[in-house]
Amino acid sequence: MFGDVVMGVEHKHFEEVLQKVKDERRIKFDNELTVEDLRKVVEGYKQLIKFKAGRMFPENVHEQLEMAINAVFGSWNNDRAITYRRLNNIHGLLGTAVNIQSMVFGNMGEDSGTGVCFTRNPSTGENKFYGEFLMNAQGEDVVAGIRTPGKIEELYNVMPHAYDQLIQIRKLLENHYKDMQDIEFTIEKSKLFILQTRNGKRTAPAAVRNAVEMVEEGLINKETALLRVDASSLNQLLHKQLDNNAKKNAKVLTKGLPASPGAGVGRIVFNAEDAYIWNNEGEKVILVRTETSPEDIEGMNSSQGILTARGGMTSHAAVVARGMGKCCVAGCSDLIIDERAKTMEVNGVRLREGDLISLDGSTGEVFYGKLDLVEPVLSGNFGKLMEWADKTRKLGVRTNADTAKDAETAFKFGAEGIGLCRTEHMFFEETRIKAVREMILAETRNEREKALSKLLPMQRGDFYSLFSIMKGMPVTIRFLDPPLHEFLPKEERYINDIARELNVSPEKLKSKIEELHEFNPMLGHRGCRLGITFPEITEMQSRAVFEAASQILKEGKNVIPEIMIPLVGKDLELSHQLKIVHEIAQKVMKEQNVDIEYKVGTMIEVPRGAITADKLAAQAEFFSFGTNDLTQMGCGFSRDDSAKFLKQYIELGIFKRDPFETLDQEGVGELMKIAIAKAKPVRPNIKLGICGEHGGDPDTIEFCHRIGLSYVSCSPFRVPIARLAAAQAAVKEKKREAEENYKNMLKQSISEIKKKFGNTVNIEDLEKEFVKIVVSKGGNYSTA
Residue 569 is a binding residue for a copy of itself (CB under 8 A) = yes
Q: How far is the CB of 273 from a copy of itself (least distance, A)?
A: 21
Residue 649 is a binding residue for a copy of itself (CB under 8 A) = yes
Q: In this chain, which of 436, 509, 635, 727 binds a copy of itself, going by CB under 8 A?
A: 635
Q: Which stretch binds a copy of itself (CB under 8 A): 218-226, 324-332, 522-530, 709-717?
A: 522-530
Of 401 and 672, CB closest to a copy of itself = 672
Asked whether 613 and 675 are in contact (CB, 8 A), the reply is: yes
Torsion of CA 697, 703, 706, 708, to 10 degrees: -70
- Mapped onto helix, strand or coil, the DSSP state of residue 85 is helix
Do β-strands 343-346 and 305-308 pair in parallel, antiparallel, or remain unpaired?
A: unpaired
Size of the site for a copy of itself (CB under 8 A): 48
Q: In this chain, which of 632, 710, 713, 728 binds a copy of itself, going by CB under 8 A?
A: 632
The alpha-helical segments, DSSP class H, found in 241-379 are 244-249, 272-280, 297-301, 316-324
Those residues whose C-beta lies under 8 Å from the C-beta of residue 771, and which sit 6 or more positions away, are 781, 783
Q: Which residues within the stretch 661-680 sit at the binding site for a copy of itself (CB under 8 A)?
A: 664, 666-668, 670-671, 674
Q: In this chain, which of 236, 642, 713, 715 binds a copy of itself, going by CB under 8 A?
A: 642
Burial of 586 per CB tally in 10 Å (0-12, 13-18, 19+): exposed
Residue 615: CA count within 13 A, CB half-sphere: 13
Instruction: State residue 77 phi and psi, 5-degree precision.
Output: -110, 20
Residue 523 is a binding residue for a copy of itself (CB under 8 A) = yes
> What's the count of helices (H) and strands (E) in the chain, helices before strands?
31, 28
Q: How far is the CB of 512 from a copy of itself (least distance, A)?
A: 13
Q: In this chain, which of 68, 572, 618, 738 binds a copy of itself, going by CB under 8 A?
A: 572
Residue 753 is a binding residue for a copy of itself (CB under 8 A) = no
Asked whether 212 and 225 are in contact (CB, 8 A), the reply is: yes
Residue 525 is a binding residue for a copy of itself (CB under 8 A) = yes
Residue 629 is a binding residue for a copy of itself (CB under 8 A) = yes
Q: Which stretch binds a copy of itself (CB under 8 A): 126-134, 440-448, 529-537, 695-703?
A: 529-537
Q: How far is the CB of 83 from a copy of itself (least distance, A)?
A: 20
Which positions are catalytic?
316, 691
Q: In this chain, which of 85, 576, 657, 706 binds a copy of itself, going by CB under 8 A?
A: 576
Q: How far is the CB of 424 from a copy of itself (least distance, A)?
A: 17
Those residues whose C-beta lies under 8 Å from the C-beta of residue 590, and which sit 6 or more positions away, are none
Of 137 and 635, CB closest to a copy of itself = 635
Q: In this chain, which of 141, 562, 573, 702 binds a copy of itself, going by CB under 8 A?
A: 573
Residue type (1 letter), 348: G
Of 258 and 609, CB closest to a copy of itself = 609
Of 89 and 333, CB closest to a copy of itself = 89
Which DSSP string corresponds to 199-223?
EPP--HHHHHHHHHHHHHTTSS-HH
Residue 262 is a binding residue for a copy of itself (CB under 8 A) = no
**What whole-number distance in Å separates Cα of residue 757 and Cα of residue 338?**
82
Of 247 and 448, CB closest to a copy of itself = 448
Q: Which stretch binds a copy of itself (CB under 8 A): 51-59, 154-162, 210-218, 641-649?
A: 641-649
- Other Cβ atoms within 10 Å of 24 Cβ, number: 10
Report the candidate in 603, 589, 378 with the shortest Cα–Cα distance to residue 480: 603
For helices 445-469 and 404-412, give the axis angle rounded to 10 degrees: 30
Question: Which residues of the shown chain bind a copy of itself in the complex (CB under 8 A)?
Answer: 518-525, 529, 532-533, 567, 569-570, 572-573, 576, 606-608, 611-612, 629, 632-638, 640-642, 644-645, 648-649, 652-655, 664, 666-668, 670-671, 674
